Chains A and B, each alone.
Chain A
Amino acid sequence: DAKTTQPTSMDCAEGRAANLPCNHSTISGNEYVYWYRQIHSQGPQYIIHGLKNNETNEMASLIITEDRKSSTLILPHATLRDTAVYYCIVRAPSGNTPLVFGKGTRLSVIA
């Protein structure tokens, strides 16, 4: 079972920042926080991952609390194309360890 809790759905106005929360209170010391998204029925798309420091790339920023029990994915300027289901996943960084997907958050970006 997924070790994360996310809101079922969220709305965001186009051009505004989308902040997607995730709780992972049982995260282990060696587990990373990964974020993926799935647009309609396409394959999941990797967004970002981190261990304990905040991370930023061209798609998003990841803010992880100091106790690592929760995190927030930030899309700084949401567009209509960001409408998708966003998955927060905790996972040890071993190639053999599968990703365990929960139900994610359905983000709707509204014009």
Chain B
Amino acid sequence: EPEVTQTPSHQVTQMGQEVILRCVPISNHLYFYWYRQILGQKVEFLVSFYNNEISEKSEIFDDQFSVERPDGSNFTLKIRSTKLEDSAMYFCASSPGQGLGGGAFGPGTRLTVT
């Protein structure tokens, strides 16, 4: 069964460094998303991406964040200058069309900022 994959599974970085989290969505899906979950807290929406552009973003997704689909298969989340509070699990998700029923989340990347 096709699945969303994410790399790396765990990323440790120093405050102020740039990080890129990578995702390979399911191949025929059209909508892509990033969510994050700070330890012990709720899963929070960051951004949705469709037709090579951001379609919706949350207040969390400020100028430090950017997304890209560089080659038609990968979907990346970049954090330009990491802060301690960016430490969280980051989940990528994709869906085939309207709605997320039938879509899927990846296993997540645990980002630790020291």
Contacts and interface: CB of A to CB of B under 8 A. Distances in A.
B99 A32 contact: yes
Nearest to A55: B101
Contact of A101 (B33, B43, B95, B99): B43
A49 B101 contact: yes
Contact of B100 (A38, A42, A43, A46): A46
Interface in A59-99: 87, 91, 93-99
B1 to A, nearest CB: 12
Interface string B1-36: 000100000000000000000000000001101010
Contact of A98 (B58, B97, B107): B58
Contacts of B33: 98
B108 A46 contact: no
Interface string A11-48: 00000000000000000000010100010011111101
A99 B100 contact: yes
Nearest to A97: B56
A95 B97 contact: yes
Contacts, number: 74
A65 to B, nearest CB: 20
A43 B106 contact: yes
B100 A34 contact: yes
B23 to A, nearest CB: 11
Given A41-B108, A46-B104, A94 B42 contact: no
Interface string B44-58: 110010100001101
What 5 A-B pairs come out closest when comparing CB atoms? A43-B105, A98-B45, A95-B31, A93-B99, A101-B43
30 contacts: A32-B101, A34-B100, A34-B101, A41-B108, A43-B4, A43-B91, A43-B104, A43-B105, A43-B106, A43-B107, A44-B105, A45-B105, A46-B102, A46-B103, A49-B101, A87-B43, A91-B99, A95-B50, A95-B55, A95-B97, A95-B99, A95-B100, A96-B48, A96-B55, A98-B48, A98-B58, A99-B43, A101-B42, A101-B44, A102-B42
